[in-house]
Amino acid sequence: MINKSGYIYEMRGEYKKSNHFYSLLFDKTGNVAYMFRELTTALYAGIDSKNVPKLAQWVKTHPDDVKSKRLLISFYLIIEEARDWEERLYCKVEMQ
């Protein structure tokens, strides 16, 4: 039932709800397919994922997996963009 719920929410574009179910499934089973669904829906929903370090480890052990590398780069770009905005805001506050 949980598996179907994640898929149904994902197909409806309700990525936060879908992400919740995929996260539960990955935590419960350890199945990497659920990890990738959790990471992808987190990216679509614009939320953080606790599994980014696990994805980074996956990329290290599976260097030919281009899809995984793309997913990891997407998270790294979001993290870097957030740091840039944080720096800009901090500098702006200091200048005032």
Extended beta strands in 1-70, E state:
none
Rounded CA-CA distance 10/15 in Å is 5
pLDDT tens by residue, 37-49 = 999 999 999 998 9
Domain ranges, residue 91: 2-95
Q: What is the pTM of this model?
A: 0.81
pLDDT tens by residue, 53-88 = 999 999 999 999 999 999 999 998 887 776 776 676
Q: How many domains does the chain have?
A: 1
- pLDDT value at 96 more than 60: no
